[in-house]
Chains A and B, each alone.
Chain A
C-alpha cells in the first residue's frame, strides 16, 4: 500500500513524460496509449473486464440467490411466489434457532474481548520488549496461523476430553459446552489480532511516544495517552474481525461443542443435512447481514486510521 504512490509516480514519469496524475488518470492513460496492433491476447482489457465481471457474478450469485429465495412465500427453489417474510417469522418463533443465535453472539463477544486483549499484549511484547522469548513466541504464533483448522480442532477435542476425564477423578465436571467452544475460538483468534496490531504498532513513530516522555509522561502514561489512542482503530478492527470469524466458525465449533445449546452454524449444518429448507436461506441471509455490517464498519475504521496515520506522518515532518 505504502509503495503505491511511488509506483504511480514512476509510471507517471516514464509513461507520461513527467506528467503526474491521479491513479485513475494513470490507468486510463495507459489504456489509451496502447498500440492497437501489438497488444492483443490476454492483455486486452476488454476481455479482462468481461472475464472479471463474470467472476464477480460467480462470487456474488450464490449469495444473492440465497437472499432472494429467503423472501419467497413458497417453499420451492424453482417457483417464486411473492415477497414475504414467512421464513423469518418462523425463524424467530423457533426457540432452537433464537437460542443458537444468542449463543453464537455470546461466544463471539467473549472471544472478541479476550482474544483482542491477549493479542494486543502479545503485539506490544513482540514489538517493544526485546526478550529472548520473542522469536519462539513469534514462531508459535505463525505455526498457529498456518495450522489447518481441522487439526487444531481435533487437538482441542482430544485435550478437552482428556481434561474432562482427569478432572472427574476429583469430582469436577468439565464437559463440552459453549465454554470449550469459546476456548477454541480464542485459540485461533489471538494470532490474527497480534498480526494486525503489530503491523500498526511497528508503523507508529516511536518518537511521538518519546516526545510524551520528554514532556514528563511516565512510560505507562505515554502508552495510555499517546500510543493506545493511535492504536485503537487497529485494535477495534481486529476485534471485529475476530467477532466475525468466531460468529461464522464451523470447524472448531463442530469439534468442541457440547450437547446443550449449540452455536448457530451447528444448527445450520443440522438443517442442511436434514434437507433443503427455506429457513436456511433466511438464517443465512441474517448471518450475512450481521457479518457484512461488522466487516464494513471494520473497513471504515481501518481506512480512517490510515488517513489519521498519514496526517500524523505529515505533522511529524
Chain B
C-alpha cells in the first residue's frame, strides 16, 4: 500500500530535485535548452555582487515578516486561547478562513485598498490631502512585507494557539500568586511554555516567505526583488536555466539550514518554567 505513494514521490519529487542539481551544474545549447556538464561557475554567479543583495533582501523580508507575524499573532492567539470561551473554535476558523481566499486575490486586494487609484487614496483625496497620490504603497518594501504578513499570519497564530491551549492556565495563576507582575509571569511562565509553538510558527511563516515570489511580483518593484523573482526570471523571462537551477539549490540549502535549526530546537525538551 506504500508503493503508489512512495513511487509517485520518488518519481515526481526526489528525481526532479536530482534533475535540478544536474541542471545547476550544466550549461545550455544554442536553443537555450539545458545540457548537462560541469560548470560550477553557475554557483559563483549566485554570489555575484549584483545578486547578493537580492538574497539578503529575501532573508531580511522573511525575518521582518516573521517578527511582525509574531507581534501581531501572539496576542490574538492568547486572547482566543484564554478568553475565547465557547467561541474558541469559531474564532480559530475565522483566523484561517481568509487564507482560503485565492492567494493572488488576497495580494491584489492590497492594491485595491492602498494602490495609487485605491480606496484609501480616494478617501484622502476627497478629504483634500495633497500629494499625487497621497499614500504611495505599491513598489515599496513596506508593501511587500505587509503583503507577506497578510499571506502567512494564520500560520503564526495557529501553532501558538495550540501551544497556549496545551498549557495549564493555572500556571499563570500560580505565577501571579507568587506576586509576579504580568510581564514577569509572561516572561517566565507563559513564553517558555509556548516557545515551541512560536518556533513552529516562525518556521511555517519564515520558510515560505523566503521563497515567495508572487507577493513581490505584484506589490513590489525593481527595488524589492526577492530570490523567488530572480528564479522566476531565469525560467519564464528567457533567462539562463542553469543559473536559475543554481539559485533554486541555494534557496533550498538556505531553507534546510533554517529547518535543521528548527528540528534541533523542537527536539530539545521545553524549558522548565522555573
Contacts and interface: CB of A to CB of B under 8 A. Distances in A.
A126 B5 CA distance: 11
Contact of B101 (A31, A63, A154): A63
B2 A129 contact: yes
Interface centre among B13, B17, B82, B168 (most CB of A within 10 A): B13
Nearest to A265: B104
Contacts of B185: 43
Contact of B14 (A22, A60, A140): A140
Interface in A27-65: 27-28, 30-31, 38-43, 45, 48-49, 51-52, 55-56, 58-63, 65
B2 A11 contact: no
A280 B5 CA distance: 37
B2 A134 contact: yes
B182 A295 contact: no
B85 A24 contact: yes
Interface stretch (A89-97, A186-194, A210-218, A308-316): A186-194
Contact of B15 (A4, A151, A159): A159
Contacts of A15: 169-170, 173
Nearest to A268: B104
B76 A27 contact: no
A118 B5 contact: yes
A11 B101 contact: no
B37 to A, nearest CB: 14
Contact of B170 (A14, A140, A147): A14
Given A63-B106, A118-B4, A141-B9, A155 B83 contact: no
A30 B109 contact: no
B40 interface: no
Contact of B83 (A31, A159, A254): A31
Interface residues of A, number: 105
Interface string B202-213: 000001101111
Contacts, number: 291
Contact of B213 (A143, A150, A184): A150
Interface string A88-120: 000000000000000000000000000001110
Interface stretch (B44-52, B244-252, B266-274): B244-252
B67 interface: no
Nearest to A264: B102
A90 B17 CA distance: 42
B119 A78 contact: yes
Interface in B57-114: 72, 75-76, 78-80, 82-86, 88, 93-95, 97-98, 100-106, 108-113
A62 B109 CA distance: 5
A61 B13 contact: no
Contacts of A23: 85-86, 88
Contacts of A128: 1
Nearest to B96: A295
Interface string A128-169: 110101101100110110111111101111110110010000
A49 B228 CA distance: 37
Given A23-B86, A77-B117, A146-B207, A156 B12 contact: yes
A301 interface: no
B17 A155 contact: yes
A144 B13 CA distance: 7
A217 to B, nearest CB: 19
Contact of B5 (A14, A62, A137): A137
Interface centre among B6, B117, B118, B251 (most CB of A within 10 A): B6
Interface in B230-255: 231-232, 235-236, 241, 244-245, 248, 251-252, 255
Contact of B105 (A11, A79, A268): A268
Given A63-B109, A146-B259, A158-B20, A190 B82 contact: no
Contacts of B218: 272-273
B150 to A, nearest CB: 7
Interface centre among A76, A119, A269 (most CB of B within 10 A): A269
A62 B106 contact: yes
| Top 8 A-B residue pairs of the complex, sorted by shortest distance between their CB atoms | A78-B122, A62-B109, A122-B5, A155-B16, A284-B105, A125-B1, A125-B2, A148-B211
Given A56-B94, A276-B111, 17 more contacts: A23-B86, A31-B83, A55-B75, A55-B76, A62-B112, A76-B122, A77-B118, A78-B122, A118-B5, A148-B208, A148-B211, A150-B231, A151-B252, A154-B244, A161-B33, A162-B19, A291-B100
5 contacts: A7-B166, A77-B118, A268-B108, A280-B108, A284-B104
